A and B are shown apart, each in its own frame.
Chain A
Amino acid sequence: MATHDEHEASPASIPSPGPAPAPSPAPGPAPGTEGDGYGDGALYGILAEYDTPGELVEAARKVRDAGYTEFDCFSPFPVHGIDEAMGIKRTILPVLIFGGGCLGALGGLFLQWWMNAYNWPWIVSGKPAWSLPANVPIGFETTILMAVFTAFFGMWILNKLPQVWHPFFRLERFGRVTDDTFLLGIEARDQRFDLEATRKLLADAGAIAVEPCYLEADPARRTMPKWITAFIVSSTAFALIPFAIAAKARSSTSTEPHLHIFPDMDFQPKYKSDTACDMFPDARCNRGELPGTVARGLLHADDTLYRGLSDGQWTIGFPRQLDITEAFVRRGENRYNIYCAPCHGFDGRGQGPVPQRIAATGTAWSIRNLVDPAASPAKMPNGQLFNTISNGFNTMMGYAQQLPHADRWAIVAYVRALQRGHNATLEDVRAEKRNTMPAPPLPAPPPPPPPAQPALSPAAPAPTPVPAAPVPAPAPAPGGAR
């Protein structure tokens, strides 16, 4: 039902900790004469016990209506409706939290602006150094953080916590307040306080017990013990030492070496790559291959398989070690679509997204069309294709580092399949499907069209990237095959 919340932040109704207020001259009997309170100091207040939270709320309402202001209720759990019954104003904590959240948002944004856009401009992912979307998540976090801090510490401060001691602690009855009892205490400094009248009021409100509370007679015992104060001060001072050392180190120079906390991690008995080493005549710690040896798995002796050559010529077929199966060609398709299609296009016509985007900037850059006759097996044997994939050609880089040789051969097989597909005849179609074929698409790739040709027939694939309206259409330069 009820949760602990901010409404108990009522500075007016919380008895102040620390030294007791100067007791008002109590009109009632002299301290210590009653025998039902402890101590023999001044009267601090009066404590009444109630059986249920409902009775506590009713009593609080009566006390409030009688005009008391210096009183408080104590219960093991938050009691619903007690704030209204005690006449406590709503707390200003939400407003403070809002302010804290706003400060957090601005602080988080300022932090990022200062660090990333002003003090040390740093480009991340091609975005501007000061780039709001990137800063929102951190601004969000700092907003939450500051709002929560304000809520947490604001609640403590408004409630005057931590309160290590309170005069009511002197009553044994008060010990049960975190357990199973409901208490209402009125302080003697209240304007309307009168021991007898107040006692009667509380009793009439249904109290099962009413008890006055007296302060310690010895004023020295009412203050916090000195050793606690000393401990707090000294531990705070100790906690500042690391910061002081860091501040000193930042603002001064020193000829002393670093302090090494873990020397065996800082100084490991090993050589790091590309460092000097006096163990060998060439003073290098990196040891290359020894003459006359080959590292395991690096003997690429088979010219056909590793270089696409047979008898010094480009090989025509495929290396005998490879089985040209459908799975092999599928593997080739997969590798092709990852490594080759960005430039050569999924269909092999050389119109992948890379050249198209380059064209959008107004630069002409043509990519080799893999399915035109110039790349046919007769003109460009398998070995040559393999060599180009491995070592690159003109501005195309080699893919030997990314792709094992078998994958490169698989790409060769898939390129052959693409070529076959592009130059297919009706005989290549399965007999039962031939009647269902639509009108044949344009079989051969057309020559580069004139630049201004925005509307193409739906079936025709885009032959050359023609940029859309805003970019002035460049004249496609012929450009050599790349």
Chain B
Amino acid sequence: MSLTKSLHPDEKYKAGKLGASLTKIGGGIAAVFLGVSLILGGMQGDGWKRFFHAYVIGWSYIFSILVGVLFLIILHHLVRGRWATAVRRICEAMTGAFPLVFIAGLGFVIPVLAGYDNLYYWAHHDAHDPVLNHHLHHKLGWLSPGFFAVRYVIYGVVFTAMAAYFAKKSREQDETGDPKISERLRIVSGPAIIIYAVVVCMAAFDILMSFAPKWYSTIYGVNFWGSACVGGFAALALMVLGIQRTGRLTHSINAEHYHDIGKWMFAFTFFWAYTAFSQFMLQWYGNMPEETVWYKYRLFGEWQWVSIAMLVGFWAFPFVFLLSRWTKRIVPSLVFFAVWQLVFHWLDLYWNVMPQYDWHVIASEKVAINAGPLMGNTALHHVGFSPVDVTVWIGLVGLLLAGIGRKLKGNLIPIKDPTLPLALAHENL
């Protein structure tokens, strides 16, 4: 028994060509699937509407995964965590994909800026009708294409800078072994986590919640963050496993670390359900039309089956099974749940965005929309699944892998971090 352990002498902790091959694979996936998506999207004949909706969902997916991983880095520094030092360099490589992700996001921000009005209702001229959209009218100062683009750039710069700073300092410590760097990062992580929280919430409001611009929910950003962290930790588990499969880090990362990643995934699975229910219950109880309309389209008609699938698949099933210590420690079982949650995390984003897809139908029935949600016809809201939804998603995940591959180089573990010996000897009681 010992509280510390040094790096195993046979440990392969250099990335070598791993990053380059990941970039190649990811780039290949991205090129093929985004190419197919462009063809499928064009064939829809709906003025690229389906394609752009799928693109925003796919983009939010890769963005949210990095949001979840960045949370672990900041929190780990903030609380002087130990176990996560073993996987922190992998997290840093993952968040290194932020610049590429934000460049990919320009794929929908630029069209909105250029006047594309088939994506967000608030960008449509109907939104400016003061009679039809009385309470939306007041939000249009914030929800205007120009300001939207400006905020998008701010989010991009903040996240990129934050991720780059933590990664750069960490690599600096590999050279010098200076413990003051850890101290410095801990001090920085305090303000960083506040900025992080604000920016995550604002980004969720702008990019996802504004699909329902007349709706109100202050917990929306928190709910998005919960879902994002489920995705982030699930992706981290798969990433670590993938790296170990290449024969690297096989001595340093063991069931104890998987267990802790699994605990986070479990915690956020419940946190997501908790915030989602909080959001639902208040609106259900208050029963105000401008709030319940959002749920009306999700709890009746075709979408109710997706909602039930979310409740069972994203919460009940993984919650009950991840409760046990063993499902988190036996790697194949953890991997099963990681893949499962990654699929449902995508479904969560899909469920958040797509019920608003048919707003043009509603908008043409202006009387109905003006008269209030109780008159809206749920039969007009179809799940309307399309292959392009999935191909864009896979393509963007490929892009994410390519972005991660670019940063997967040098040491895969912070070799001179003062907490590394503790992390390597980490054991869960």
Q: B-contacting residues of A (Cβ < 8 Å)?
A: 1-3, 5, 7, 53-54, 57, 78, 80-81, 85, 94, 98, 125-127, 133-134, 136-137, 346-347, 353, 356-357, 359-360, 454-456, 458, 461-462, 465-471
Shortest beta-carbon distance from B178 to chain A in Å: 25
Q: A-contacting residues of B (Cβ < 8 Å)?
A: 1-3, 126, 129, 131-132, 134, 277, 280-281, 284-285, 287, 289, 323-325, 364-368, 370-372, 374-377, 379, 427, 429
What separation, in Å, do the CA atoms of A98 and B322 have in the docked complex? 12
Asked whether, in the complex, the Cβ of A357 is within 8 Å of the Cβ of B371, the reply is: yes
Asked whether, in the complex, the Cβ of B281 is within 8 Å of the Cβ of A3, the reply is: no
CB contacts (< 8 Å) of B2 on chain A: these are 54
Asked whether, in the complex, the Cβ of B374 is within 8 Å of the Cβ of A360, the reply is: yes
Closest chain A residue to B126, Cβ basis = A458
Asked whether, in the complex, the Cβ of A346 is within 8 Å of the Cβ of B375, the reply is: no
Asked whether, in the complex, the Cβ of A356 is within 8 Å of the Cβ of B429, the reply is: no
Dominant secondary structure of chain B at its interface with chain A: helix
Query: 4 closest pairs, A vs B, by CB?
Result: A468-B368, A81-B1, A356-B371, A461-B131
Asked whether, in the complex, the Cβ of A454 is within 8 Å of the Cβ of B365, the reply is: yes
A-B contact pairs, 21 of them (CB 8 A): A53-B1, A80-B1, A80-B427, A80-B429, A85-B1, A134-B285, A136-B281, A346-B131, A353-B372, A356-B372, A356-B375, A357-B372, A360-B372, A360-B375, A454-B365, A458-B129, A466-B371, A467-B368, A468-B368, A469-B379, A471-B375
With known contacts A81-B1, A356-B372, A360-B371, A133–B280 Cβ distance under 8 A = yes
CB contacts (< 8 Å) of B289 on chain A: these are 353
Among B131, B367, B368, B374, the one with the most A-chain Cβ atoms within 10 Å of its Cβ is B367
Shortest beta-carbon distance from A100 to chain B in Å: 13
Asked whether, in the complex, the Cβ of A137 is within 8 Å of the Cβ of B377, the reply is: no
Asked whether, in the complex, the Cβ of B429 is within 8 Å of the Cβ of A3, the reply is: yes
What separation, in Å, do the CA atoms of A225 and B288 have in the docked complex? 67
Dominant secondary structure of chain A at its interface with chain B: loop
What separation, in Å, do the CA atoms of A339 and B325 have in the docked complex? 58
Among B289, B325, B365, the one with the most A-chain Cβ atoms within 10 Å of its Cβ is B365
Asked whether, in the complex, the Cβ of B367 is within 8 Å of the Cβ of A1, the reply is: no
Asked whether, in the complex, the Cβ of B134 is within 8 Å of the Cβ of A54, the reply is: no
What separation, in Å, do the CA atoms of A289 and B372 have in the docked complex? 49
Asked whether, in the complex, the Cβ of B3 is within 8 Å of the Cβ of A1, the reply is: yes
With known contacts A80-B429, A357-B374, A468–B367 Cβ distance under 8 A = yes
What separation, in Å, do the CA atoms of A469 and B367 have in the docked complex? 11
What separation, in Å, do the CA atoms of A126 and B368 have in the docked complex? 25
Shortest beta-carbon distance from B256 to chain A in Å: 12
Asked whether, in the complex, the Cβ of A137 is within 8 Å of the Cβ of B372, the reply is: no
Asked whether, in the complex, the Cβ of A465 is within 8 Å of the Cβ of B429, the reply is: no
What separation, in Å, do the CA atoms of A136 and B277 have in the docked complex? 9
| Known A5-B429, A54-B1, A462-B131; 16 more pairs at CB < 8 Å | A7-B429, A127-B285, A133-B281, A134-B281, A134-B285, A353-B372, A356-B375, A357-B374, A360-B371, A458-B126, A458-B366, A462-B366, A462-B367, A462-B371, A465-B367, A468-B377
What separation, in Å, do the CA atoms of A81 and B3 have in the docked complex? 11
CB contacts (< 8 Å) of A469 on chain B: these are 377, 379
Closest chain A residue to B131, Cβ basis = A461
With known contacts A5-B429, A468-B377, A346–B134 Cβ distance under 8 A = yes
CB contacts (< 8 Å) of A468 on chain B: these are 365, 367-368, 371, 375-377
CB contacts (< 8 Å) of B277 on chain A: these are 133, 136
Asked whether, in the complex, the Cβ of A94 is within 8 Å of the Cβ of B325, the reply is: yes
With known contacts A94-B325, A134-B285, A462–B429 Cβ distance under 8 A = no
CB contacts (< 8 Å) of A85 on chain B: these are 1
What separation, in Å, do the CA atoms of A471 and B371 have in the docked complex? 13
What separation, in Å, do the CA atoms of A94 and B429 have in the docked complex? 13
Shortest beta-carbon distance from B325 to chain A in Å: 7
What separation, in Å, do the CA atoms of A2 and B289 have in the docked complex? 52
What separation, in Å, do the CA atoms of A353 and B324 have in the docked complex? 51
CB contacts (< 8 Å) of A462 on chain B: these are 131-132, 366-367, 370-371
What separation, in Å, do the CA atoms of A458 and B130 have in the docked complex? 12
What separation, in Å, do the CA atoms of A94 and B375 have in the docked complex? 50
Among A134, A455, A461, the one with the most B-chain Cβ atoms within 10 Å of its Cβ is A461
Closest chain B residue to A465, Cβ basis = B371
CB contacts (< 8 Å) of A2 on chain B: these are 429
Asked whether, in the complex, the Cβ of B366 is within 8 Å of the Cβ of A81, the reply is: no
Closest chain B residue to A5, Cβ basis = B429
CB contacts (< 8 Å) of B3 on chain A: these are 1, 80
What separation, in Å, do the CA atoms of A386 and B284 have in the docked complex? 39
Asked whether, in the complex, the Cβ of B371 is within 8 Å of the Cβ of A467, the reply is: yes
Asked whether, in the complex, the Cβ of B429 is within 8 Å of the Cβ of A78, the reply is: yes
CB contacts (< 8 Å) of A353 on chain B: these are 289, 371-372
Closest chain A residue to B325, Cβ basis = A94
Residue in B1, B367, B427 whose CB lies within 8 Å of A456: B367
Closest chain B residue to A82, Cβ basis = B1
Asked whether, in the complex, the Cβ of A126 is within 8 Å of the Cβ of B287, the reply is: yes
What separation, in Å, do the CA atoms of A461 and B126 have in the docked complex? 12
